[in-house]
Amino acid sequence: MTEQTETTRLHAIVEGGVQGVGFRAFVMQKAASLSLQGWVRNRWDGSVEVVAEGPRPDLEKLLAALYRGPYAADVRGVKPEWQPASGEYSGFSVQMTSG
């Protein structure tokens, strides 16, 4: 049995060539493999926004993956922000383009 780890939230904006390259599907797969909750969406400015909740060590793994991105992506920057978890999400989904 693993010890309980406090849940927190990662909010990140990923910039660069990150739309039209399977970035959202990449984030969905990584989040699912880490059992994280939240969402990913494209933004009108060409960036991708991610909100994920879960244990901090798993969120750190997701953040490392965001810097890397899928094969076709050209990640030029990631702006991570740590916030308290809200617990409002069940599962991980793709949201409509926004902001």
**Is 24 among the residues known to form the active site?**
yes
- Domains of the chain are 14-84 (3.30.70.100)
Rounded distance, CA 34 to CA 88, Å? 18
pLDDT value at residue 1: 37
State the distance between the two ends of the chain, measured CA to CA, in whole angstroms: 41
Q: Which of 24, 41, 43, 56 is catalytic?
A: 24
Q: Which of 41, 42, 43, 56 is catalytic?
A: 42
pLDDT in tens, 60-78: 999 999 999 999 999 999 9
pLDDT in tens, 15-27: 999 999 999 999 9
Name the residue among 81, 45, 76, 46 with its Cα closest to residue 63.
81
Could you tell me if 47 and 14 are in contact, meaning their C-beta atoms sit under 8 angstroms apart?
yes
pLDDT at 33 exceeding the cut of 50:
yes
Name the residue among 74, 70, 57 with its Cα closest to residue 30.
70
Asked which of 2-6, 64-68, 82-86, 90-94 is least confident by mean pLDDT, the reply is 2-6
Rounded distance, CA 78 to CA 46, Å? 13
**Is 43 among the residues known to form the active site?**
no
What is the amino acid identity at position 7? T
Mean pLDDT of the chain: 94
pLDDT value at residue 98: 81
Model-level pTM?
Answer: 0.93
Mean pLDDT computed over 33-43: 98
